[in-house]
Every structure is written in structure tokens, then in C-alpha cells.
Amino acid sequence: MSKTTFKIATFNVNSVRSRMPIVLEWLREHGPDALCLQETKVEDKDFPLGEFEDAGFHVAFRGQKRWNGVAIVSKTPLEKVVFGFEGGPEEEGPRMISGVLSGVTIVNTYIPQGRDVEDEQFAYKVGWFERLHERFEARYRPEDLLLWCGDLNHAPEPEDVYEPEKKEGHVCFHPEVDRVYRKIMEWGLVDVFRKHCSEPKQYSFYDYRLPNGVKRGLGWRIDHILTTRPLADKSTAAYIDLEPRLKPKPSDHTPVVAEFLLD
DNA sequence: ATGGTAGTAGAACTA
């Protein structure tokens, strides 16, 4: 039986409408099976669906004004689409979309940044990771072909942050978050990017406020592609594509990509 | 040094 390639990427676009030139060019050049977006920052009625369809893609999306918003762009329609947590607070913003493509369950998340350790948003962030762990325990099995990706707003290792000794305790490099992150990983996930690339200073986010951040290496690896072991065994490549971050009018994040050979 | 920029807004918040 012949195998098929499956290419997927995660990209926090920081407003999908502002990023359409970069996103459409990236889709044309890479032709992924799926592109998971975060921070689309647009209500569903204003989502630029037609431009994606003209480029030959389907999109499942949910958003709101100003903040949050997630989408999965795909060559074939996303199956079994679910948004958010069941029974989550009514006022909770759209931060998660899941579905199935080519037999692979995809969970795309935009995890709360946390603002400040003293802010209630930080407890909300830790609780968000906890709820995600409960969801994995309840709905999925480590034996499934499952991929969790998105802006996790968490750097797992010192080599995933510039000047880690100074950033220790930052909401995106914090032991309390790391504890829950590891609990989810121990459920049965592999960092597919790290399976293929052990180099330090591989960053997916560069703050707008630090001039020439890419050139100076002032970034964070907080966008991730994590998969169950059976899917990780099928991965053939993973990398961070810095090109979109270096273009005019970039997002502050850049795509993380993984490729698989499926049965 | 606790700043800096960008997005959505149409002032101030979020990241």
C-alpha cells in the first residue's frame, strides 16, 4: 500500500486580515495539508474565507472582535470539528479548534499568555493547561494518531528562550506552567520539532519591540507541534520557517512546520 | 534601562 505525505504548520498570525498577503504566499509556496492559525482577531462574519477558497483551501474558524480566534486551513474539509472546551465559561474566547484530517486528530490551541504571575490571567493559563490535560485523558488515547499544535505561550527548556537566566519566572517560562505542560506530555506526547532539530536558539516568536530581534537571536520557542508516539514515528521532518517573520508587515510569530508519511 | 512596536480600535488594552 502506498504512503502519503502529510504536511502541517502552526502560525500565530496576529490578525488574519492584516496577514493575508503573507499567509496566501506561504500557502502557495508550501502547499500544506493543514495550516493551523491563532490570533485571527476577526468575527466569523468578517473572516476572509473567499480568499482562502480562491487559493484552493477550506477553512474551519471561530473568532471574535479584537482578540483570540483560531482556524484550520486545509486542502480537504476538516472533519468532526469541535470548538473550545465543553462546558467552558460562556464568556471564554475562541482559543481551541479540533478536528480530523487524513485520520489524524488535530488540536489547535491559542493558550492564554498569562500577562503577569500576579494577574488572575496567570491562574487562568495554568487552569487552561489543566483542562486540556483532562480533555486528553477523557477523549483521546496515546495510541491515537493525534497532533496538538499552536501558540502554547510556554518555552519548555532554557534553550527555547534567549537569556533564560533572566527570563526564569516569566509567564512564558515559568515552573508552574512547565509542571502542567509536562503532565500533558507524559500523557503520551512527543515534541516533534525537537525530534528533528536539537539546535538551541530555534525560535518561533520575536517581540516587535526588540529591533532586529531575529538577527540578534532575541526570541522564544513557544509555538509547538506535539504528537502521540505512533504519529511521531511517522514524522519525516520538522522546522521553523523564519521567512515570514522577515517580510514587511510580519506577525511577531512565524510558522512551525512538520511533515509525516502516513499509511 | 522595566523601555521598545503592532493590532484593533478610534482610547486603551493586549501581547
The answer on pLDDT for A90 being more than 80 is no
Confidence of residue A249 (pLDDT cuts 50, 70, 90): very high
pLDDT digits 0-9 by tens, A149-204: 999 999 999 999 999 999 999 999 999 999 999 999 999 999 999 999 999 999 99
DSSP per-residue codes, A174-243: -HHHHHHHHHHHHHHEEEHHHHH---S---SB--TTSTTHHHHT--B--EEEEEEHHHHTTEEEEEE--H
Percentage with pLDDT > 90 across chain A: 96
Considering any atom of strand B, list protein residues whose CB lies within 7 Å. Answer: A 14-15, 17-18, 41-42, 65-67, 112-113, 115, 121, 153, 208-211, 249
Q: Which CATH class is domain A4-262?
A: alpha beta
Whether A11 contacts A36, CB under 8 Å: yes
* B chain positions with any atom within 7 Å of a protein CB: 3-9, 14-15
CA–C1' nearest nucleotide, residue A67: B14
